[in-house]
Structure 1
């Protein structure tokens, strides 16, 4: 991998992991369009480490409180502070973990195509627009009950299909449940932490078991660029969300999906 490929893919991963436009779709499509060789498993692990670092650092104060309240809740066997939200993040991760174990390999082989990405990009983009238009936008993430968390968790599992967008579909689900835009985005970002940990952990195990030669310069650069771009993306997205809404991302998805259909049909 040359520097341009490393920089472009890491920047793309950092920006698209948390915007509702699908990081997996962009990381699949860019090498196809640019005629690059596949970046490989090791690089995927590196850029996931970068985005994980960014979201943990951004929410470090929140995570510190969630962790402390969760341990207190376990010790006292009752809700303490934000322990309910901590349990919601853990509980909401179960559906995607099960789906990944049961269907991950099949999804990777059967659904990794530009046409599938085009259809999901358009379809779930329209659903995001509908949820933003119809959502009451009055609830906070602290108000989520177990049925709400299960609904968002199942929605997150659907995001294993390329082009769906993990952040996009979880924000969509949150808006459908009446969360404010910022609350839906914050819960989506918190929910991403165990998911990225699980995905990165599985990829790391595969990497350790493979005989691949590792280009450490590319990995370190990729992790650094993805971390910086992801942090900036989270900061700007949450700051501007109420002002711009979801429609710029809906329009982008419709244009991208239409372009892919034109290009690959």
Structure 2
């Protein structure tokens, strides 16, 4: 089972920050590994701690600056409209929807919403939506242009990632593109916005797993999380460089292709939904 955990950790790190849905890939891949089982929402959430730790390392200077300015503005040491202090508030506001919806629909998220039929549909639908947003978006707004209203919209877009196949980065970036933000700005905010939600969800599931063992042991899950961290560091660097020069079209094509193939396999009974 350790080898399976390592493979899943590698895929988690590879797909978390690309707009192709890491949870969908773990869900699908689980059916083709020797155990032929869904690794589960808990395993996915815990390994995301590794990928999110990669975000903290990659954006460390930004994160320290944002937190520092937020606290200084809170106590009146710098203007409350300071861009970094404002961004701190926007990350807090944008994190609320996924926390509330995650708690309200926890049972559905861990059961019915993990159906591969839903995963396939979400891969295709949100892939097409990303392509449309990338094509029609003005791409003029920068990170400092985000308003409270836009932050809330970003937050609800992120919460859609509770459904495997949507993609946390993909859903958030799509919303940003529709609102006219530059590709890099939309991606940067998506990565920063994910930090509170992913760490909260991951450690919550880690605490639960102490009493409710899943498919993998804590040791195997820890190894998978470490692998996800290492792979994710390289992926973030690649992705931020890619989107500054290219469109999201390859990811759109990939999502639609994988979703369509999954529908065919499900229809033929090759895999169990």
Offset at residue 259 of structure 1 (A): 0.1
Aligned match for 1:164, one of 163, 166, 169: 166
**Quick one: distance in 1 between partners of 2:15 and 2:188?**
16
8 Å contact 1:181–1:241 — kept in the other structure?
yes
- For residues 96-107 of structure 1, the aligned pairs below 5 Å read 96-107=98-109
User: Could you list the per-position Cα deviations for residues 99-152 of structure 1 after superposition, in whole angstroms to 9, with x for gaps in the alignment?
Assistant: 001112113211211111111100000000000000110111111001111111
**Quick one: distance in 2 between partners of 1:128 and 1:164?**
10
- Larger mean CA deviation between 106-115 and 63-72 belongs to 106-115
Cross-structure match for 2:264: 262
Structure 2 unpaired stretches of 5+: 268-273
Task: Report the number of matched residues.
Answer: 264
- Larger mean CA deviation between 19-28 and 218-227 belongs to 218-227
**Quick one: distance in 1 between partners of 2:216 and 2:244?**
43
Aligned match for 1:108, one of 101, 107, 110: 110
TM-score scaled by length of structure 2? 0.91
SS of residue paired to 1:159: helix
SS of residue paired to 2:75: helix
Tell me the C-alpha RMSD between the 2 structures. 1.9
Cross-structure match for 1:120: 122
Cross-structure match for 2:271: none
8 Å contact 1:43–1:222 — kept in the other structure?
no
Cross-structure match for 1:245: 247
SS of residue paired to 2:210: helix
**Quick one: distance in 1 between partners of 2:22 and 2:5?**
15
SS of residue paired to 1:183: helix
**Quick one: distance in 1 between partners of 2:116 and 2:33?**
14
Offset at residue 198 of structure 1 (A): 1.4
Distance 1:45 1:242, change over 3 A: closer
SS of residue paired to 1:82: helix
TM-score scaled by length of structure 1? 0.93
8 Å contact 1:25–1:163 — kept in the other structure?
yes
Cross-structure match for 1:64: 64
Cross-structure match for 1:226: 228
8 Å contact 1:42–1:219 — kept in the other structure?
no
1:142 aligns with 2:141: no
Cross-structure match for 2:23: 24
8 Å contact 1:92–1:152 — kept in the other structure?
yes
Cross-structure match for 2:73: 73
- Larger mean CA deviation between 148-157 and 219-228 belongs to 219-228
**Quick one: distance in 2 between partners of 1:213 and 1:117?**
21
Distance 1:213 1:157, change over 3 A: closer
- For residues 2-21 of structure 1, the aligned pairs below 5 Å read 2-3=2-3, 5-21=4-20
**Quick one: distance in 1 between partners of 2:215 and 2:164?**
27
SS of residue paired to 2:140: coil
User: Could you list the per-position Cα deviations for residues 71-106 of structure 1 after superposition, in whole angstroms to 9, with x for gaps in the alignment?
Assistant: 011111723341011111111000111000111211
Structure 1 unpaired stretches of 5+: none
User: Could you list the per-position Cα deviations for residues 148-168 of structure 1 after superposition, in whole angstroms to 9, with x for gaps in the alignment?
Assistant: 111111111122111111110
Cross-structure match for 1:202: 204
